[in-house]
Amino acid sequence: MKKAIVTGHTRGLGAAIAAELHGRGIAVLGLARARSPLAGIDQIALDMTDPAALQAWLAGNALRDFLRDADDALLVNNAGVVTPVGPLAAQDPADVLRAVSLNVGAPLALAAAFVQAAPKAQRRILHVSSGAARNAYPGWAVYCATKAALDQHARAVLLDGDVRVRACSLAPGVIDTDMQAAIRATPDADFPMRERFVALKEGGALDSPEACAKKLVDYLLAPGFGSEPVDDLRT
């Protein structure tokens, strides 16, 4: 039996991933602050920017109970934020800590708890990464750094050598989501690359969340998943 955990499953790409997995008959547990209208999945209201709240939930039995009868267990670390945007002089340290908690702390803690909660299952961990993990952008110091951390995490997991645990940090491409809308609305002074993303939108180059989710789930379920710890859906 296949079971999947998806973070940030209520909007954008996360919602599309949860729906795609559910549509393929895979049991889904969604973790987010809000609830999704998607019927037939399990959901937990959890603020993953709060390390204490996440630690308290992981200390319970909910994750182990959900994965108890899974032969194949999947973790999709999708939740993340692009903020704070701007040079260091404009960044609120509280926003930096929030971004690091959500973009790095939560995925890495969930990965460890996930592997321990399903010791008999084949386990696959997919971090939703970004081209920003591999190419620096002005104004995105925090976003670039946190996504790069996921890439290195997946590389190190491969080196651990456990054949029952596979991980990949996968850049999905540019997707038509609320995050992209927020990027296009950012002042040029904070994000000098803004016009590039405006041009992508106006040129119809953005993938829909649903189209991207289908490709991402195909990738996640493919036999060779994890052989490349860092990859890009566009290549």
Q: Is 143 a catalytic residue?
A: yes
For tokens 């969930």, name the residue: 110
Distance CA 128, CA 197 (A): 19
Token digits for 85? 């945007």
State the CB neighbour count (10 A cutoff) for residue 131: 15
Helix (H) or strand (E) holding 163: none
Q: Which pairs count as long-range contacts for 134-138, CB under 8 Å and 24+ apart, including other chains? A: 134/171, 134/230, 137/191, 137/193, 138/87, 138/191, 138/192, 138/193
Coil, helix or strand for 9? coil
CB 107: neighbour CB atoms within 10 A?
Answer: 26
Q: How far is it, in rounded angstroms, from Cα 137 to Cα 131?
A: 10
Among candidate residues 66, 143, 191, 225, the one labeled active-site is: 143
What is the side-by-side order of every strand in the sheet holding 230-232?
42-45, 27-32, 2-7, 72-77, 122-128, 165-171, 230-232
Residue 150 token pair: 């996921």
Question: Which residues are catalytically annotated?
Answer: 143
